[in-house]
């Protein structure tokens, strides 16, 4: 293994003009394209980052290392809209992603995550007086959050997800919640609800304005219906260069300005926007705007000025991303190379999307021997792309790693305790 080898897939902002129909370079030296922004429709998204040949599904489980390494790949070529601040993978091919029962992405086995999840459900029940109401969730996964919302407020629920696994719904609200194993669409417009929730789903959808517009049409003009969406906060990803949060299924990257604007332009009145989950997520709450002129897409002057300022700040972060990315990837490659040279053993903790994105970005499949996960449904399977085997925390008792790399710093305390309980004291580094 060579420490100075940087695979071509790590190239960032190095696109030649011929590769993407580029006609000119933007003011900041970013390659301008004729690609139109899926958020606001403005043409001329500028390319600032690419990751070639990455797995097209990060949470899929494969039965053998061979199949895992042969898993289909696609390209990430991120374009930035200088008008609304939206970021998208300009080469995204939705048919390459798979949302099925083969996906195993719940974080519900983590006490930290479960506590945060329940806290969010309680807050929403309080804030929007969700008691005895009808809740609809788009992209509900296995229904964990919908069941919490229905438990906390004695609500009824309906959840839509093509990857829903039927036998997982448990808890006191299970008999009040119905699941539909399908993508949510306008054909379900007859299912009206008081509260429409969509967590960690919009970032998987490429035609964002089209999708938000579809939701707006499907829920109708009832001014009482509240919609609540949660997405990763791209400001944090850019600022901290959280490259483990950039992966194929996440084709859409929102900041407050682009998220607010796509909802406003789709006929919603915004009622709240916050960051959550230690700054990793961005949430928006909105209601149908039925006032005259609501759909002309023009925000009030103060709002327009605030969004413009945010887009300027984002532009600076986008322009700085390539250098930060190169620096962070180099740091991790050096770290893992040094570990291997010293005859030490490294594992990652967290075999889901972040783990796959992290290892794909480094291109060092053999530097990490195992990926630990507390989700028992993942044990014994292999991660797509890198082909690293997923093991239980218990496995480490015998294996005794020297370095544990945590894929999400929010779990540092929990993982530290788990390692201590296993009688282990490795070096712990969070990405």
Shortest gap between Cβ of 48 and Zn ion (angstroms)?
A: 14
Size of the site for Zn ion (CB under 5 A): 8
Instruction: Calculate the alpha carbon distances from 59 to 55, 99, 167, 205 in Å.
Output: 10, 9, 19, 16
Shortest gap between Cβ of 208 and Zn ion (angstroms)?
A: 9
In the complex with Zn ion, which residue's Cβ is closer, 132 or 297? 297
Interatomic CA distance for residues 393 and 403, integer angstroms: 14
CA atoms within 13 A on the CB side of 265: 17
- Binding segment (CB under 5 A) for Zn ion, from list 35-43, 117-125, 210-218, 396-404: 35-43
In the complex with Zn ion, which residue's Cβ is closer, 86 or 247? 86
Window 55-94: contact mask with Zn ion (x via CB under 5 A): --------------------------x-xx-x--------
Shortest gap between Cβ of 38 and Zn ion (angstroms)?
A: 8
In the complex with Zn ion, which residue's Cβ is closer, 88 or 408? 88
Shortest gap between Cβ of 316 and Zn ion (angstroms)?
A: 17
Shortest gap between Cβ of 382 and Zn ion (angstroms)?
A: 38
DSSP state of 96: G
Q: Are 49 and 246 in contact (CB under 8 A)?
A: yes
Which phi and psi angles does 330 have, rounded to 5°? -60, -40
Secondary structure in 3-state letters for 207-250:
CHHHHHHHHHHHHCCCCCCEEEEEEEEHHHHHHHCCHHHCCCCC
Query: Of the candidates 219, 237, 239, which has an alpha carbon nearest to the alpha carbon of residue 229?
Result: 219
Instruction: Calculate the alpha carbon distances from 353 to 54, 64, 224, 261, 381 in Å.
Output: 12, 18, 36, 28, 14
Interatomic CA distance for residues 150 and 207, integer angstroms: 30
- Binding segment (CB under 5 A) for Zn ion, from list 29-37, 70-78, 263-271, 306-314: 29-37
In the complex with Zn ion, which residue's Cβ is closer, 58 or 252? 252
With the CA atoms of 162, 168, 173 and 177 taken in that order, what torsion angle do they form, in degrees rounded to the nearest 10?
A: 20
Of the candidate residues 30, 31, 32, 37, the single one contacting Zn ion (CB under 5 A): 37
Shortest gap between Cβ of 247 and Zn ion (angstroms)?
A: 22
In the complex with Zn ion, which residue's Cβ is closer, 34 or 221? 34
Shortest gap between Cβ of 173 and Zn ion (angstroms)?
A: 39
Spatial strand order of the sheet with 370-372 comes to: 389-391, 370-372, 346-349, 403-406, 427-430
Contacts of 399 (CB under 8 A, 6+ apart): 345, 347, 369, 370, 391
Interatomic CA distance for residues 21 and 30, integer angstroms: 13
Residues from 212 through 271 that contact Zn ion (CB under 5 A): none
Altogether, the residues listed in the chain come to a count of 431
Interatomic CA distance for residues 128 and 373, integer angstroms: 35
Interatomic CA distance for residues 354 and 357, integer angstroms: 5
Shortest gap between Cβ of 350 and Zn ion (angstroms)?
A: 32
- Binding segment (CB under 5 A) for Zn ion, from list 25-33, 37-45, 110-118, 222-230: 37-45
In the complex with Zn ion, which residue's Cβ is closer, 39 or 213? 39
Shortest gap between Cβ of 33 and Zn ion (angstroms)?
A: 13
In the complex with Zn ion, which residue's Cβ is closer, 42 or 170? 42
In the complex with Zn ion, which residue's Cβ is closer, 1 or 43? 43
Shortest gap between Cβ of 422 and Zn ion (angstroms)?
A: 48
In the complex with Zn ion, which residue's Cβ is closer, 266 or 340? 266
Strand 31-32 with 46-55, pairing: antiparallel
Residues from 188 through 207 that contact Zn ion (CB under 5 A): none
In the complex with Zn ion, which residue's Cβ is closer, 105 or 310? 310
Of the candidate residues 39, 157, 159, 267, the single one contacting Zn ion (CB under 5 A): 39
Residues from 282 through 311 that contact Zn ion (CB under 5 A): none
Residues forming the site for Zn ion (CB under 5 A): 37, 39-40, 42, 81, 83-84, 86
């Amino acid at each position: 293994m060579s420490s100075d080898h940087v695979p071509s897939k790590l190239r960032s902002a190095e696109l030649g003009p011929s590769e993407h129909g580029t006609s000119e370079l933007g003011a900041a030296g970013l390659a301008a394209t004729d690609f139109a922004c899926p958020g606001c429709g403005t043409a001329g998204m500028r390319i600032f980052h690419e990751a070639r040949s990455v797995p097209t599904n990060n949470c899929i489980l494969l039965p053998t290392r061979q199949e895992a390494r042969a898993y289909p790949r696609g390209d990430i070529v991120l374009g930035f809209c200088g008008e609304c601040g939206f970021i998208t993978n300009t080469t995204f091919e939705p048919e390459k992603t798979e949302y099925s029962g083969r996906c195993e992405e719940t974080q519900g086995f983590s006490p930290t995550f479960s506590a945060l999840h329940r806290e969010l459900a309680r807050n929403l029940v309080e804030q929007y007086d969700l008691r005895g109401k009808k809740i609809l969730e788009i992209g509900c996964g296995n229904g964990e959050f919908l069941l919490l919302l229905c438990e906390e407020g004695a609500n009824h629920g309906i959840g839509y997800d093509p990857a829903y696994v039927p036998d997982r719904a448990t808890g006191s609200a299970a008999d009040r919640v119905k699941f539909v194993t399908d993508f949510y669409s306008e054909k379900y417009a007859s299912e009206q609800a008081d509260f429409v929730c969509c967590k960690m789903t919009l970032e998987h959808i490429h035609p964002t304005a089209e999708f938000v517009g579809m939701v707006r049409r499907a829920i109708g003009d009832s001014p009482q219906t509240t919609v609540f969406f949660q997405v990763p906060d791209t400001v944090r990803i850019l600022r901290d260069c959280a490259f483990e949060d950039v992966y194929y299924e996440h084709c859409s990257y929102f900041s407050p300005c682009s998220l607010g604007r796509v909802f406003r332009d789709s006929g919603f009145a915004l009622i709240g926007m916050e960051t959550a989950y230690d700054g990793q997520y961005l949430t928006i709450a909105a209601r149908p705007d039925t006032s005259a002129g609501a759909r002309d897409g023009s925000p009030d002057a103060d709002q327009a000025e605030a969004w413009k300022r945010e887009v300027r700040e984002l532009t600076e972060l986008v322009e700085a991303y390539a250098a930060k990315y190169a620096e962070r990837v180099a740091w991790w490659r050096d770290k893992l190379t040094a570990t291997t040279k010293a005859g030490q053993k490294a594992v990652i903790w967290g075999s889901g999307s972040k783990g796959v994105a992290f290892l794909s970005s480094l291109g060092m499949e053999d530097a990490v021997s195992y990926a630990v996960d507390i989700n028992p449904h993942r044990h014994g399977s292999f991660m797509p792309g890198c082909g690293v085997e997923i093991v239980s925390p218990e496995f480490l008792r015998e294996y005794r790693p020297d370095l544990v790399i945590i894929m999400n710093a929010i779990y540092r305390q929990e993982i530290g305790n788990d390692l201590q309980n296993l009688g282990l004291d490795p070096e712990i580094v969070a990405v």
